[in-house]
Chains A and B, each alone.
Chain A
Amino acid sequence: MLDDTDRRILRQMQADPTMALPDLADLTGMSTSRLARRIERLRDRDILRGPRAVINWRALGYSVEVSLRVTLDKTQTRAFDDFIAAARDIREVIEIQTFLGRVDLRLSVIARDMTHYQAIYRDQLLALPHIADIEALMHVARIKSEETLPL
């Protein structure tokens, strides 16, 4: 199980994932070697992974982002598996999530502009299997995006 020290370390690392080990040791009030051992243990248990680089798709010319909310035809027993496998083949799909609720599935789709999005939507997204209903939310702005856990 995790103790308060682990939480303190993760809290600081979340706030600044690029912080050097000695600085992190200062902040958490631990020796560098003890801190390194703690971090190693968290990594071994796969609780801590990364950091990963976050790609800013806008800087690469992808100015459109759409949240596609999908309801599947659940009379088809393989609806989820078939749909997800096919969605993985669409390069512009950057996130696939499944839900318990009014919506079964959500895809995050990026495109260079609306014309490009229209092409992906018609040729690839609407061709995905077992769709019963589909609705789109157009992305305007990201207000908060750090995705930190309240440790």
Chain B
Amino acid sequence: MMELDDIDRALLRALAEDATQSAGALGREVGLSQPATWRRIKRLTDGGVIAGRRLDLDREALGFGVAVFLGIKLATKGRVSLEDFERAVSAIPEVQTVEHVLGMYDYRLRVVARDIADFERVLRRRIMTLPGVGDVEANVLMSEERRPGPI
């Protein structure tokens, strides 16, 4: 586990907001030289604290008006391998995230669709036909907000 100081935390917060900023610009904000800032960012990346970079696209402007979270319970545990289910569900383009969870569901999916009719098509043709799928609960996303977290 990596220990962070205040400067690391400030860099991490800034990069989580906008990773296009140069080491020079970030360094000026936290009071470090460009090379020193670059070394810190490299340490955060190499140490796995920065897992990667992700675009933040305006989903609705791009024509995906609906995002739905699905809770899925496997019906035939033991007979269908989790790997088979995971491989099949991950291959569906409209499925953005797949999380294996413990509780009243086995998997939690985030699905995008153009509209509710399109979502119904994805649900019927692609999700309900997955190997071993049992109970499915759908909740339509109304709003979401990402928080900076404990840094």
Are A and B genuine complex partners? yes
Taking beta carbons and an 8 Å cutoff, which residues of A are in contact with B? 2, 10, 13-14, 17-18, 45-57, 59-62, 67, 84, 88, 91-103, 106, 110, 135-151
Interchain residue pairs A-B with the least CB separation, the first 8 = A101-B139, A150-B93, A53-B15, A56-B51, A137-B103, A51-B53, A143-B98, A99-B139
CA distance A89 to B25 in the complex (A): 29
CA distance A47 to B52 in the complex (A): 21
A92 and B48 contact, CB distance less than 8 A: no
In the complex, whether B5 has a CB less than 8 A from a CB of chain A is no
Contact A56 to B144, CB < 8 A, known contacts A14-B57, A149-B62: no
CA distance A49 to B55 in the complex (A): 6
Given contact pairs A55-B49, A140-B101, enumerate 9 new A-B contacts (beta carbons under 8 Å). Answer: A46-B61, A50-B19, A51-B20, A59-B49, A102-B137, A103-B139, A140-B102, A144-B97, A148-B96
CA distance A135 to B97 in the complex (A): 21
CA distance A67 to B102 in the complex (A): 10
Chain B's interface size range is 35 or more
A-B contacts, 27 listed (Cβ < 8 Å) = A10-B62, A17-B52, A46-B61, A48-B55, A49-B56, A51-B53, A51-B55, A54-B51, A55-B49, A56-B50, A60-B1, A67-B108, A88-B147, A95-B144, A96-B145, A137-B102, A140-B100, A141-B99, A141-B100, A144-B90, A144-B98, A146-B96, A147-B110, A149-B57, A149-B62, A149-B96, A150-B93
